[in-house]
Amino acid sequence: MESVGSTIVSWMIVIAIIVFSILTVTTRKILRAATYLLFTLFAAAVLYFKLDYEFLGAVQIAVYAGGIVVLFVFSILLTSHPGDNSRRLTSRRRVLGLVAAVLTLGITGAVLFSRCSMMATQLPAMENPSMKLIGETMLGTGAGQYLLPFEAISVLLLACIIGGVVVARKR
């Protein structure tokens, strides 16, 4: 049985994720969309903290809130006037988007609720993964350890840096 405070925090996370993600795609000012995206990402980080993955929550805040959203805001300010509204949607496009989203919601929701017995799983007890365990998992070569993806990501990031410079530089 969880404490009342813990339950309240869970409900706040759930409501924040739903409300802010809907606002992200419905607001007509793009700078506001970026801000609501930031709130959604924060809610996700709080969820990671709540589920005992402190390291992951910290990474989420540092990389998403500290890196990606700042990049979004910079590029929005570079490419559009902050006060502008986006153009009104044509009804055909909106209907198309709604149909795709509602279909996905319906089908996936039906599958989800048909597995009700599994979904009623309660939160099992778990010790927080220590930094030692995380480091060994990330840099080990044994079974269930991830040195090769780690190195592949480093090569990917290098390629991304070079690609970004080549694409965005002035000619």
Partner 1 sequence: MDISMIYYLVPTLVMFCCGIYGFITRKNMIAMLISIELMLNAVDINFVIFNRYLFPGQLEGMMFTLFAIAIAAAETALAIAIIINLFRAHKNIDVSDITKMKF
Q: Does 71 bind partner 1 (CB under 8 A)?
A: yes
Q: Does 128 bind partner 1 (CB under 8 A)?
A: no
Q: Does 54 bind partner 1 (CB under 8 A)?
A: no
> What distances in angstroms separate CA 97 from CA 88, 91, 146, 152, one per listed residue?
14, 10, 38, 36
Instruction: Give the C-alpha separation, 53 to 40, whole Å.
Output: 18
Q: Does 139 bind partner 1 (CB under 8 A)?
A: no
Of the candidates 58, 131, 133, 147, which one interacts with partner 1 according to CB under 8 A? 133
Instruction: Give the C-alpha separation, 19 to 8, whole Å.
Output: 16
Of the candidates 12, 98, 131, 147, which one interacts with partner 1 according to CB under 8 A? 98
Q: Does 25 bind partner 1 (CB under 8 A)?
A: yes
Q: Does 157 bind partner 1 (CB under 8 A)?
A: yes
Please give the full DSSP string across 99-141, using - where no structure is assigned.
Answer: HHHHHHHHHHHHHHHHTHHHHT------PPPPHHHHHHHHH--
Of the candidates 119, 132, 141, 142, which one interacts with partner 1 according to CB under 8 A? 119
Q: Does 89 bind partner 1 (CB under 8 A)?
A: yes
DSSP 53: -
Please report, in angstroms and rounded to a whole number, the separation of the first and last CA atoms in the chain.
63
Instruction: Give the C-alpha separation, 61 to 45, whole Å.
Output: 6
Q: Does 142 bind partner 1 (CB under 8 A)?
A: no
Of the candidates 58, 104, 131, 139, which one interacts with partner 1 according to CB under 8 A? 104
Q: Does 124 bind partner 1 (CB under 8 A)?
A: yes
**Residue number with CB closer to partner 1 (79 or 141):** 79
